[in-house]
Amino acid sequence: MEERLAELEIRVAFQDQTLHELNEVITRQQNQIDRLLKEVENLKIQMNMLAPSMVVSKTEEKPPPHY
């Protein structure tokens, strides 16, 4: 009986350690996801700011050479 109890205590200790490690991994991953989302949002803003400058207005556009 004591041997079984000791085995269960060992398993619980290992499970606690594993849960702690997994929690750390999940926390790091969430921080990375949050940072990447911010970077993507910043890139969207930068692209939107650049987009108008990349397109010439129709009044400034020259006709194609075959005209």
CA distances to 16, 49, 58 from 7, rounded to whole Å, are: 14, 63, 78
At 5-46, the pLDDT tens digits run 999 999 999 999 999 999 999 999 999 999 999 999 999 999
The tokens for 14 are: 């290992």
What pTM does this model have? 0.62
DSSP letter string, 7-60: HHHHHHHHHHHHHHHHHHHHHHHHHHHHHHHHHHHHHHHHHHHHHHHHS--TTT
Which carries the bigger pLDDT value, residue 36 or residue 65? Answer: 36
Distance separating alpha carbons of residues 2 and 63, to the nearest angstrom = 91
